[in-house]
Amino acid sequence: YMAASAIIERDPAYSKVAARFLMQKLFREAIGRAAQEHEKDTVYRQAFANAISMGVEKGYFDERLLSFNLQTLQAALVPERDELFDYIGLYSLQRRYFRRHEGVVFELPQTFWMRIAMGLALGEPEDVREDRAIAFYNSISLMRYMPSTPTLFHSGFPTAQLSSCYLNTVDDELQHIFKCLGDNAQLAKWAGGIGTDWTAIRGTGAYINSIKATGQGVIPYLKIANDVVTAITRSGIRRGGKCAYLETWHYDIEDFLDLRRNTGDERRRTHDMNTANWIPDLLIKRVKEDAQWTLFSPHQTPDLHELYGQAFEKRYREYEDIADRGEIMYKRVSAKQLWRKMLTRLFETGHPWLTFKDPCNVRSPQDHVGVVHSSNLCTEITLNTSAEETAVCNLGSINCAAHIDNGQVQEEKLRETVREAVRMLDNVIDLNFYPTQEAKTANMRHRPVGLGIMGFQDALYKCNIPFSSEQAREFADTLMEKISYYAIEASADLARERGAYETFSGSKWDRGIFPCDTLDLLEQERGTPIDVDRTKRLAWDDLKAYVKQHGIRNSNLMAIAPTATISMIAGCYPSIEPIYKNMYVKSNVSGDFTVINAYLIDDLKARGLWDTQMYEELKFHDGECGPIDRIPEDIKEKYRTAFDLDSEWLIRVTAARGKWIDQSQSHNVFLKGVSGKKLSAIYMTAYDCGLKTTYYLRTLGASQIEKSTLDQSKYGATQKRSNV
């Protein structure tokens, strides 16, 4: 399989060949010998029963798995689905996910998928448990839906920590600060990504009455937080991940912007922790007006932390008046200069990310029971937090590509997948191991889940839609409307079966305000237009009536995560991203892989254009079609890559999708060049379109594909750099 994997870049078909060779290796490990073709089906099914029994006996799996009728489940296995894997996906599962005993894998791929499904069906009634497990297995093994990595790590385990994200907020009190640091260590240990709001911590130089001295502000605690999470390896498999959030009116915000710099006092740097600005709308208004911005210490302005929208703006101005009278500590800076510094640090270090407080709160379904103080590690979760509640979100993603046939969305198939996905995600809440009581309290009360999508770029390819076209925005809009409708419908059906979540009464759902209605609320709060079309196509009034009658099972339903690993397993492009390059090397903990765009190669083959010369030209130009004269213009347009697409356009595509989502989306910004004006325009477009959050800023580096195999007599010095 290694030999076949080495030539995948020459033709994506070799990826399937390499996967088949790897399957032979897995067979030898899992059953102790190679299986002959005529006996594979029988051997595969028996290997499943043996793996479950041995896994329980050795303590790897939950003993309740033996309560299933294993004969029924092994009969439902479809070994032929192994052929859906490409090499990277199967190799990733083999390296990181399949269970081992004494270093030897004892699960085959369909065994693994069924074990995941069984783990997610453990809470189902006994009379339908096998049926539910088989339905879950079909959704996952067909790669129509993929649970998040923690669920794939732990489903069916005795201690099943299946949740992806945890959000908490730290009070301005020493005991609570260190309690949260300890909580974060536990959450990271069990594979949770963490977003922590530090805004309540008083600013540098603020007086501490108990010791009659001044404090050092929030930065020293962030240094400790960085080191705590760095020390934890999530589930022994990947490094702990954390993001620290601070509101942009905080007295220490300028020091916060410098946390990821490579210069300065190392005691005030956090090189291993992500950071994010939690930006109130008022700052953006002041930037546009070229006005002043005032920084406060939150111990003197504590209610600013709990307010948003017009209420925040009113109270903020009152505090500015109090500051002008000399009654509280403050700093005054130019809003525009602070904005420039935010963007400069973002360009230099990739941090802090820009996330927007007011849209997250104004559009939150749970505005009646709390405040959203931050997002999570990957900026797609927007849930309330308090000292008593650590927000939890359980994630999984619909593979858009698996629901396209003959260039059309298969709506009934999509509805079926969404319904199974919502049921699995809701089951996670009850099956999950919670590392802290605050996490359990929040999740049981509100029952939020985050159903996302991946393979959006694949779906566009299969529908022959260029990402740069108006048709792409319409496709994003209509596809997400369907997913939103089906998810809400499924959750309402679960409420009818199992009961509504505890805090449903008074929520936006209860008040008949759905995600697609909340842009109007944001527009009212801001007093300026939100530049997003509001067209609705489905029977939303009927669905609102159904939710009013039966309630809804989950306070939140949709969030689009990055999906880097699970999309690799499913053989599609991550999340909502445009393709990075048509040919590149991907590196992660599983290894280095050459990724080549199979859709492009298929189109070139259909036109009779795929040959050795085309392969070499594509490699020479780092996967870019534009410089290659032989490639027709329509193919060039279809296969434009992330850095060749307009960043503001990509935000508008995300905004069209975002109107249907009750949480947020991990939206990476791709910037080609070094224009500060362009960078500012991108993020101002995000604000104007009502985006809740943005994620990484990706800039174009100088690294390239290895080209040593190219003939230098034809291409010259192959490691050329662009002038960008």
Ramachandran region of residue 437, left (φ > 0), alpha (ψ -120 to 50) or beta?
alpha
Of 226, 376, 394, 399, the catalytic one is 376
Residue type, 631: I
The residue-averaged pLDDT of 703-714 equals: 54
pLDDT in tens, 683-692: 999 999 999 9
**703 pLDDT above the threshold of 50:** no
378 is catalytic: yes
The pLDDT assigned to 448 comes to 98
Of 180, 243, 360, 378, the catalytic one is 378
The pLDDT assigned to 1 comes to 57
pLDDT in tens, 76-114: 999 999 999 998 899 999 999 999 999 999 999 999 999
**705 pLDDT above the threshold of 70:** no
Q: What are phi and psi of 691, to 5 degrees?
A: -60, 145
376 is catalytic: yes
Helix, coil or strand: residue 38: helix
Any idea how long the chain is? 724
CB burial of 395-411 (b: ≥16 within 10 Å; e: otherwise) equals bbbbbbbbbbeeeebee
The pLDDT assigned to 720 comes to 47
Q: In whole angstroms, how far apart are CA 315 and each of 67, 262, 320, 340, 490?
A: 59, 37, 9, 25, 41
pLDDT in tens, 12-71: 887 888 888 888 899 889 888 777 777 888 999 999 999 999 999 999 999 999 999 999
Contacts 24+ apart (CB under 8 A), 634-640: 635/600, 635/603, 635/604, 635/607, 637/466, 637/468, 638/461, 638/464, 638/466, 638/603, 639/579, 639/582, 639/597, 639/599, 639/600, 639/603, 640/466, 640/467, 640/468, 640/578
Give 707's pLDDT tier (boundaries 50, 70, 90).
Answer: low
Q: Are 123 and 152 in contact (CB under 8 A)?
A: no
Give the span between the Cα atoms of 356 and 282, in whole angstroms. Answer: 10
Q: In whole angstroms, how far apart are CA 696 and each of 365, 584, 668, 683?
A: 26, 19, 5, 12
β-strands 165-169, 145-147: how paired?
unpaired
pLDDT in tens, 201-226: 999 999 888 887 888 999 999 999 99
| Chain mean pLDDT for the chain | 92
The lowest-confidence range among 235-239, 377-381, 505-509, 678-682 is: 235-239
**721 pLDDT above the threshold of 50:** no
pTM over 0.85: yes
**5 pLDDT above the threshold of 80:** no
